[in-house]
Structure 1
Amino acid sequence: MLVLVQNGVGAKILTPIISILIILGAISTAVNMISGIVTRCVNSIERNKSEAERTNGHLLRNAIFTAIFTFLAFAIAQFGLMAVVKKGYAYLGYAAFITLFVPFVVHAIATKGKEI
């Protein structure tokens, strides 16, 4: 969009507008993603609690998880996403081997391949 606007009609006016909209879109996406994961984590923790216990510490749990995930997003931005992904994929392969491949092979051997 930015390249098209810069080479088209009204580039001096539309370029800053498009740039601001891109920044606002990135911020709103980040806020929605952090809000979603905070809601899921807090709901997961509060699932086995009574209604009184849920309402008692709900705001504090939201604040703690929001701080954790905001710091995590900030740390990823500081180190660079590609560096995190490069290191993470190596460990993700080991985790997948242990959690997916090994149980699949054990299950196949136990059922003699009938339930694959």
Structure 2
Amino acid sequence: MLGLVQNGVGASILTPIISLLIILGAISTAVNIISGIVTRCVNAVERRMDRSAKKAQEHLGRNAVFTAIFTFRAFAIAQFGLMTVVKKGYAYLGYAAFITLFVPFVVHAVATKGKEI
């Protein structure tokens, strides 16, 4: 988009506007992603709680804690670079998948003698 605007009519006016819209879109997406993961985590924690009075009383605090955690994680990923995180993370992701997916699948298949696969 920015390339088209810079080479077209009204480039001096439209280039800053498009740049600002790209930045606002990135911020909006980040806010929505963090909000979604915070909501899911808080709901998961509150589902395990017994008393509804305690849920309502500490709901805002849990939201603040999870928001701080996920905002810090996003900031850390931005600081270290996504490719570095992906390169290191994928090395361990294979091991994690082996332990959490493959081994239980094989154990279940052996235990049920292949009837429930």
TM norm structure 2: 0.93
Q: 1:112 deviation in Å?
A: 3.2
1:42 aligns with 42
Q: Partner amino acid for 2:2?
A: L
1:91 aligns with 92
Of 84-93 and 100-109, the range deviating more from structure 2: 100-109
Percent identity among equivalent residues? 83
2:70 aligns with 69
Q: 1:105 deviation in Å?
A: 2.0
Matches within 5 A, 1:3-82: 3-49=3-49, 50-82=51-83
Q: Partner amino acid for 1:15?
A: T
Structure 2: gaps spanning 5 or more residues: none
CA RMSD after TM alignment: 1.1
Whole-angstrom CA distance in 2 between matches of 1:41 and 1:65:
7
TM norm structure 1: 0.93
Q: 1:71 deviation in Å?
A: 0.6
Q: 1:51 deviation in Å?
A: 1.7
Q: 1:108 deviation in Å?
A: 2.5
Q: 1:46 deviation in Å?
A: 0.8
Moved beyond 4 Å, runs of 4+: none
Q: 1:28 deviation in Å?
A: 0.5
Q: 1:115 deviation in Å?
A: 3.0
Count of residue correspondences: 116
Of 6-15 and 42-51, the range deviating more from structure 2: 42-51
Structure 1: gaps spanning 5 or more residues: none
Whole-angstrom CA distance in 1 between matches of 2:10 and 2:99:
57
2:110 aligns with 109
